[in-house]
Chain A
Amino acid sequence: MKIRLDNVVKTFDTFRAVHGVSLDIESGELLALLGPSGSGKTTILRMVAGLEYADGGHIYFGTEDATDIPVRERGVGFVFQHYALFPHMTVSENIAFGMKVSKVKRSPEAIRKRVEELLALVQLSGLGERFPGQISGGQRQRVALARALAVDPRVLLLDEPFGALDANVRRDLRRWLRKIHDELGITTLFVTHDQEEALDLADRVVILDKGTIVQQGTPEEVCRNPENAFVMRFLGDANSLPATIRDGMAYVQDVAYDAAGMADGTAEVLFRPADVAWREDGHGVPAQIVRVLDRPDSRRVLAKTTGGQSIEFDTAPEFPHRKGEAGFIDIRRPRIYKNG
C-alpha cells in the first residue's frame, strides 16, 4: 500500500507541531522518520494511524483519501513504544484481540490457528498462555508486533519501537524486524530519535526538525551528502570551525577550503572526528592537544585551535603525541555551510 502525505499540518493549542509536510511512502518500503524530540515525527505517525486528526492537508492510502477515516476503520497496525499490551489478557488473547472485535467473524478455530502462526513468526511459540507481566521487554515488543499484524494491516506503524529496551536486545530486534519486513513486504513507517537505528534498518530516512522535513533519502545519500548543518550534526559527532567565504574559498584562520559557488559571508566548516589528520608541520589549522582519551580501538584527541575552538578527532591506537604538544589539524572532507 502506497501512502502519500500532502501538505499535512497539525497544531496543538498554540504549538505548531507539524508544518505542511508532504511525503511519499512507496508500497513495501521501510521508512524511518528521524528527528529530535519535538520535531513532530510521532505526531506525523499518529496522524497516519488516525490517532490524531490533521488540521490541514490530506493523507492518502493508495488512491483513497484516508484523512477522515476513523482509526478503527483505517486498517493500520500500530506498535507503541511501551508495548501497550493488555495486562489482563494472556499473550494469545492479546494477539487474538483484533480478530475477536473485528466485524469480520472468524471461527474460534481459525483465530487459534492464526495466533499460533503469529507466535511462530515472532518466535514466541509456547509462551501463549503467559501474561505480559511474565515475559521480558523484548518478548513483549514482539507480542505487540504480532498483535498489530494479526488484523492484516495495510501499513505497519512503529513508534520508537526499541526505545524502552537495552542496547543488546535493541540490536537483535532491529535485525529481526528487518527480516520480518523482508518476508512480509508490508509498507512500514517507524519513528526514532536514534540515527544509528534509522540508518541500520530503513530503506529511506526522512529527517525532521521543528515540524518540517529537512532532508530525505537513502541512508547512503543522507550520510554522504548532508544538505545542511542540522543534518550533519544530527547524524553523528561533528566538529565546527567558523569560516569566512571570499571569492569561492572558505578561510578558517589562514587555511583555505574550496567553496566554489558560495556567496561571500560567514560560514561554518563541519567535519567528522574521523576526518582529521594530525600534522607536526605544514598544511592545516594550528592547534594544541588538550587531552588524549583511550578507546579499545582508537585514541580520541581533544584539541584547541589557536583561534580558541575545541575540536575532537579520532586517531589510530599508535598515535604517539601527548597533552600539550602543538601541531596542525588537516581536515579531510570538510563540509561548508553558510550561516543563517
Chain B
Amino acid sequence: MKRRVLPGLPLSLGITLVYAAIIIVLPLIALVFKAASLGPADYWRIISSDRAVASYVVTISCAFVATVFNLVFGLALAWVLVRYRFPGRRIIDALVDLPFALPTAVAGISLTTLFAVNGWFGGPLSALGIKVAYTPLGIMIAMAFTSLPFVVRTVQPVLEELDPTLEEAAQTLGGSDLSIFARVVLPLLTPALLAGVSLSFARSLGEFGAIIFIAGNQPFETEITALLAFIRLEEYDYPASAAIASVMLIAAFVMLAVTNLLQARALRYTVRN
C-alpha cells in the first residue's frame, strides 16, 4: 500500500461521513418520510393544488430572471475586478461578499424600505409607473441581491488564471475584440459560469428571509414556495409542508444534475487520452 504523508484515512473518512449523515442526509430522510406519510392521492393533491402550482411558477420564473441578471452582471463585475486597476477596487471586491454576510432578513427589510412607494428608489420608480415592492419584480431583486456573489466568486479565479497570451495569440491571428471574447474567453469561462449560475439559481429557489418582506406574499401572485411550506408548518400541517418541500428538493436535484452534465460537456477538452 502506498504510504501517505498524513495518516488516518479511516478516521478522517469516518468523521466526514458521520458529519454529512447527521447534517445533510438525516434531515432529508426525515423530510421524505414525513411526505411519504401521506398517501399518494393526498400527496398529489397537495403538491398540485392551484396555490402550490402558482407558487412554483412565481418562484421559478423569478429565480430564472434573477439568475440571468446575475450571469450578465456578475460576469461584468468579475471582469472589471480582475482586468482593471482603479481606486476603490479592493473595496468593491470586499462589498461583493456582503450579501453572504448580511442576515437575509436585514437585506429584505432594507430592500423593502428602498423600494417601497415612499422609498429612495421606489418613489422615482413609481413616478415612472414601475412598482417594485409587493410585486414579482421585488422578489427578483431580493433573489438577485442574495445570490450575486456566487457568480462573481466562481468566475473571478478562473478569469485571473486565464493566460493573457491566448488573447494576444487571437489578436495576432486577426480576431476582433468581439470574436476573441465569443470564441476564446467565453468558452473558457463557461464551466465556471455554469457552476456560478447553478449555485445562484439554487440559492434563489430556496431564498426566504430576504423575499418575504418585499414580496407582499399574496397567494397566487407573490407567494413563493418556501413561504407556502412555512405557512403549512405554522398550521401544524407537517406532512403538507414536507410534501411541498419535497418538490423543491426534487427541483434542486434535477437542476444540479443538469448543470453537472453541461459542465462535463464544457470541460470535454480537459480529458486526456
A residues lining the B interface (CB < 8 Å): 49-51, 71-74, 76-78, 80, 82, 84-89, 97-98, 100-103, 130-134, 144, 147-148, 150-151
A101 touches B270 (CB 8 A): no
- Number of B residues, CB within 8 Å of A: 24
What is the bound-complex CA distance between A100 and B173, given in angstroms? 10
Partner of B183, one of A71, A101, A131: A101
| Chain A nearest CB, measured from B267 CB (Å) | 9
Partner of A88, one of B163, B175, B187: B187
Of A88, A89, A102, A132, chain B has the most CB atoms within 10 Å of the CB of A88
| Chain A nearest CB, measured from B156 CB (Å) | 19
Listed by A's residue number, 6 A-B pairs whose Cβ atoms lie within 8 Å are: A77-B172, A78-B169, A88-B269, A100-B183, A131-B269, A133-B272
Restricting to B258-272, which residues have a CB under 8 Å from any CB of A?
A: 268-272
B272 touches A72 (CB 8 A): no
B16 at the interface (CB under 8 A from A): no
Of all chain A residues, the one with the shortest Cβ separation from B190 is: A88
B165 at the interface (CB under 8 A from A): yes
Of B169, B173, B175, chain A has the most CB atoms within 10 Å of the CB of B173
Chain A neighbourhood of B268, CB < 8 A: 131
A78 touches B168 (CB 8 A): yes
Given contacts A86-B166, A101-B175, A131-B268, 6 further A-B contacts (CB under 8 A): A72-B172, A80-B168, A88-B269, A100-B183, A130-B273, A133-B270
Partner of A148, one of B172, B179, B183: B172
What is the bound-complex CA distance between A132 and B187, given in angstroms? 15
B173 touches A98 (CB 8 A): yes
What is the bound-complex CA distance between A119 and B109, given in angstroms? 63
Chain B neighbourhood of A88, CB < 8 A: 187-188, 269
Chain B neighbourhood of A77, CB < 8 A: 172
A51 touches B171 (CB 8 A): yes
A97 touches B188 (CB 8 A): no
Q: For the complex of A and B, list the 4 residue pairs with the smallest distance between their C-beta atoms, beginning with the closest.
A: A98-B173, A84-B165, A84-B169, A78-B172
B170 at the interface (CB under 8 A from A): yes
What is the bound-complex CA distance between A147 and B183, given in angstroms? 15
Restricting to B215-273, which residues have a CB under 8 Å from any CB of A?
A: 268-273
Once A87-B188, A101-B179 are accepted as A-B contacts, the answer to whether A134 and B172 lie under 8 Å apart by CB is: no
Chain A neighbourhood of B270, CB < 8 A: 87, 131, 133
Once A87-B269, A131-B269 are accepted as A-B contacts, the answer to whether A49 and B172 lie under 8 Å apart by CB is: yes
Restricting to B132-179, which residues have a CB under 8 Å from any CB of A?
A: 163, 165-166, 168-176, 179
User: Total A-B pairs in contact (CB under 8 Å)?
Assistant: 81
Partner of B165, one of A50, A80, A97, A147: A80
Chain A neighbourhood of B271, CB < 8 A: 131
Partner of B175, one of A51, A82, A97, A134: A97
Chain B neighbourhood of A72, CB < 8 A: 171-176
A-facing mask of B82-106, CB < 8 A → 1, else 0?
0000000000000000000000000
What is the bound-complex CA distance between A131 and B268, given in angstroms? 9
Q: Interface on chain B toward A: helix, strand, loop, or mixed SS?
A: helix
B184 at the interface (CB under 8 A from A): yes
Chain B neighbourhood of A98, CB < 8 A: 173-175
B168 touches A102 (CB 8 A): no
What is the bound-complex CA distance between A131 and B174, given in angstroms? 22
Chain A neighbourhood of B188, CB < 8 A: 87-88
Chain B neighbourhood of A78, CB < 8 A: 168-169, 172
Of all chain A residues, the one with the shortest Cβ separation from B177 is: A72
Of all chain B residues, the one with the shortest Cβ separation from A147 is: B173
B174 touches A102 (CB 8 A): yes
Once A97-B175, A101-B176 are accepted as A-B contacts, the answer to whether A133 and B269 lie under 8 Å apart by CB is: yes
Once A82-B165, A101-B179 are accepted as A-B contacts, the answer to whether A151 and B269 lie under 8 Å apart by CB is: no
What is the bound-complex CA distance between A270 and B13, given in angstroms? 67
| Chain B nearest CB, measured from A124 CB (Å) | 15
B166 touches A151 (CB 8 A): no
Once A88-B269, A101-B183, A134-B273 are accepted as A-B contacts, the answer to whether A151 and B169 lie under 8 Å apart by CB is: no
What is the bound-complex CA distance between A78 and B167, given in angstroms? 12
| Chain A nearest CB, measured from B184 CB (Å) | 6
What is the bound-complex CA distance between A50 and B174, given in angstroms? 12
| Chain B nearest CB, measured from A76 CB (Å) | 6
Chain B neighbourhood of A147, CB < 8 A: 169, 173
A-facing mask of B176-196, CB < 8 A → 1, else 0?
100110011001100000000
Chain B neighbourhood of A80, CB < 8 A: 165, 168-169
Once A51-B168, A133-B270 are accepted as A-B contacts, the answer to whether A97 and B183 lie under 8 Å apart by CB is: yes
A76 touches B183 (CB 8 A): no
| Chain A nearest CB, measured from B204 CB (Å) | 29
What is the bound-complex CA distance between A89 and B180, given in angstroms? 13
What is the bound-complex CA distance between A224 and B174, given in angstroms? 42
What is the bound-complex CA distance between A263 and B187, given in angstroms? 66
Chain B neighbourhood of A76, CB < 8 A: 172
What is the bound-complex CA distance between A49 and B173, given in angstroms? 11
Restricting to B5-37, which residues have a CB under 8 Å from any CB of A?
A: none
A97 touches B171 (CB 8 A): no
Chain B neighbourhood of A148, CB < 8 A: 172-173
